[in-house]
Structures are given as structure tokens and as C-alpha cells.
Structure 1
């Protein structure tokens, strides 16, 4: 059974499924999405040279019916609720898709207000068909929860020349993060001081991001590497100008990624949290 939950920026939501008043009939566009192929052609070259592929916007069309047995006013109330929730003036809505154990989400903007066809067979005293046209500028479906990894540092550690299976008194500041999605996933980093010139790296890709700034024990550094949403903040204030010029707003490649943090001031109080949502090209 498919179920769609649409929630707007005000927290109002409607559920489309097999229960009154919003019955879901079909949803198109959850799997396929257009691809733009970039290539270049040199003089006298046969064919062309492939450069890259980028996904286009995802268009979702939902068809269904409002049914309210025995209460004509309930049909009108359901129409008004749908119009209020799917209001393009309120910015993007969040769509949660459920089918069995599969649960994913995506953001979309309404290309029009809900369509309520008036032709014969589309409406009656106790029913009203509807059409929803939604456009997802970010085409990937996401998990509805964050994956996360914590890293902390314990100074020292006892090393032995013996081949022992355990490292004594050592808690690593390296962690493996598994991206189970289809494409690279941007991360959100929360770095709690104290630290001097903190650096968080993806050792798998060789990329790092360094903030040339001293963090006191009460300071928290926030970093987002998402395209169009990149930011660096310390205690909520912009700190982009402290970024090391060679830094990269790295992402997690599909599969295992080895993450680490370093600082010019080692402290057992320093904590680093890296979180992300896996991304999928379709359902």
C-alpha cells in the first residue's frame, strides 16, 4: 500500500492513501528523472567526448479522490485543507513516501494550486477528484533520518611491540562512515571545542576543511557542505572568512569513507559529530 504525507512550512499536513478523505489513485515520477549529458566535440572528431551527467528536476504527478460519505460539507473542507497545505506561496513542501518498509522523503514546490476537475464523473455531492503537480528541484530521494558518526579524542594511548588485538587506553579520532545511497552525500559537521585550527577530513577522498580559528570550550563550530546551502558558523555567527583557502566542502562518496579530525590543541573534551542523509536516484 502506498501512502503519501505532504507537509508545508507551517507544519500542516495531509495524508493520501486508502483512508478518507484523501484517497490516492496514482503517483508518477517517483522513479524516473531526466538526465543531461555533457559532452564536447573537437574538429574532425568522430562522435564526441563524454564529460559528465547531471540529473534534471523531478516532476511528480499525483491523482486521487476526496470522498466524504454522507457529508457534502466535508468535501469542501477537505478541498480547502488541501489548498492550504499545498500553497506555492508557502515555499517547498516535504513529501514522505511510504510503501511497506520503504520510507523516503523529498522536497517539492507546487507548480499550481491543487486541480479539482469539474467535468462529469470528476465531482459529485460526496466526492471530488484532484490532481497535484509538484516539482522537485533537488531530484534525490532521502532517508527520513540522519546517519551520524561521533569522533572524540583521548590523549596518549599505550602502544606495545606485541601484536595484541586491542589498543589500550585509546579512543580514535577516526571513524568509518558508510554512505549507502546512490550518489555522494553532503554532510553537516558539529565541532565542539576546545580546539585550535580544527580540521575535519575525508581521508578516503583526500579532502579536508580547516577553520583557522581558536575554539573555546563553550564554542560550537557548524559546517554544512550541501550545494547551495554551504555555510560555516561559530555559535550561530558567520565564520566563512576563517576557512583555509585549500579547504574543500567535501561529501561522502558511496560506500565506506574514513573520517578524521585534527586540531593544534588536543583535548578529551573535544567532540565532533558528522551527520548526513543517504541519497537515492529513484524508488
Structure 2
């Protein structure tokens, strides 16, 4: 089975399957261009491999309107043009293929094209999307919760010193084909929270104190990288609170050991870490 659904930024959706829109061809689902990055030293033969970068993905759909009545054709054509409008920006493609379901953010590369029917019984059309992020992902977001470290270390101190109680250390598994960004939500009260990916040695430390009414939100994706504090209906930009050596880390493929701690915090200060597994094709 091969069924494709596009939902635009207004929440309108259209499904291409059998009736009334019959899929004749669907390409750009697994294939995507890549660019090999290299560098050359003076007098070097060839070059030195640095990385491989995937280019944007271009899913291309060739379809036919199943009906032959002119009024029905006009109505369905109008529906396709309304939902698949390039001016609406990023939407979402969802593909069901042989029992597997994946989704990807996409925008229209051009207005859908409807060639002249000629002697054909059905009206055919073609749609090309552009996916700036080429990775397919699971529709279901994976989420895990961790408890905070309770700090005990204060100045001045006397021996014996109690440096603190270790926070949660857990293993998060990325089942995708590539590393994937995470979102982190931390509910106060807590002071100077730190989330570390021990597998990569990278951490995010935020030099601030959250009240019980505040939530710290972190997004490590390259496209939407941000640190914010939510206080009721107020959104506070908090990039300036990041510790200077913090990294917007991602989950590597496979197991990732994650540690959550803080200078001060109560048991209620839970951190929720969420992500989507990402795939290079279907």
C-alpha cells in the first residue's frame, strides 16, 4: 500500500491514494542527493574526506483525478490548488508505505501542474515538494523523564563535605539512521540545571534559577535552536543564560547515556527529553 497525505500550515489536508486521486508515480522518497565535503593541503594529491552532506529532498508525485465529469474534475482541481499552495510555507507530508508510516516537513516547490487532458479519460497532474530537512521521521515523538540532582555543596564548608546527590542517569536509544536533535523541558523550582550526553561528552548548562511557576525549554535542532523560559503567557529569551561551554547536543545512533543534575532542586523538578527518530529513506 502506498498512501501520501499532505497537511498545509492552515491545517488543511489532502490524501493521494485511490479515490479520487490515484497515484501513478511517486519518486524522491528514498533517493536524495548528497555532497561530499573535502579539504586540500598544499601539494596534496586528491583531497581529505571531511563529511557528507545530504541535500534537500524533492518528493515528486504524478497523480490522476479518477473522475471524468468536468464539474467534478474542476472541483478536485480547485481542492489540490487550495491545499497545495506554495505561499503557505512549510507543511507536513505523511507517507504510509507497506505498513510503515513516516513524516517529513515540506513546502511546495511550485504550483501543481495540470497538463491538457487531450484524449485522456482522466485529468493528470504533478506536484513537487521541497523538504529542507531531508530526513524522514517517526510520527510518534519519544519522550523520557528524569529527576534532578539535589545540591548540598555550599561555601564556606567544613569537613566532611557533602557535594550533592547524583541526579538521574539513564540510557536513551536512538533507533534512527542518523543523529537527532532533542527538546528539553524542565519545570522549576531548580537552579543551574545541566543535561549531559555522556556518550558524546557534550552538555547544556543554563545559569539561572527557575521558580515553581517557570518552565525552561531547550530545542537543539539546527533549524530551530533556542532556549526559552515560559512564565505564564510570557516567553523570555534565555540564550544569554547558557554556560559558555555548552553544546546543543544530539542523540547519536544507538545508546546514549544521559545525566541530569542541578546546583539546587526539588524532586518535583522533572526534565522531559523528547525526540523523533530520523531516517535517510523509506
Give TM-score scaled by structure 1 length. 0.89
Selected match of 2:99 from 98, 101, 105 = 101
Alignment of 1:49-64 (within 5 A): 49-64=48-63
Structure 1 residue ranges (4+ consecutive) displaced by more than 3 angstroms after TM superposition: 153-156
1: CA distance, partners of 2:102 / 2:277: 10
TM superposition shift of 1:153: 4.5
Partner of 1:17: 17
- 1:250 to 1:139, Cα distance in 2 relative to 1, 3 A: same
TM superposition shift of 1:229: 0.6
Query: Which secondary structure state, in structure 1, belongs to the residue aligned with residue 128 of structure 2?
Result: strand
Query: Which secondary structure state, in structure 2, belongs to the residue aligned with residue 63 of structure 1?
Result: strand
Query: Which secondary structure state, in structure 1, belongs to the residue aligned with residue 265 of structure 2?
Result: coil
| Structure 1: 5+ residue stretches without partners | 157-169
Contact 1:86 1:93 in 2 (8 A): no
Matching of residue 147 in structure 1 with residue 146 in structure 2: no
TM superposition shift of 1:55: 0.5
1: CA distance, partners of 2:268 / 2:142: 23
Aligned length: 265
| Structure 2: 5+ residue stretches without partners | 152-164
Partner of 2:82: 84
1: CA distance, partners of 2:77 / 2:166: 57
Query: Which secondary structure state, in structure 2, belongs to the residue aligned with residue 82 of structure 1?
Result: helix
Partner of 1:191: 186
TM superposition shift of 1:93: 2.0
Give TM-score scaled by structure 2 length. 0.89
Contact 1:191 1:220 in 2 (8 A): yes
2: CA distance, partners of 1:52 / 1:27: 29
Alignment of 1:119-134 (within 5 A): 119-122=117-120, 124=121, 127-134=122-129
Alignment of 1:1-283 (within 5 A): 1-18=1-18, 20-68=19-67, 71-122=69-120, 124=121, 127-153=122-148, 173-235=168-230, 236-283=235-282
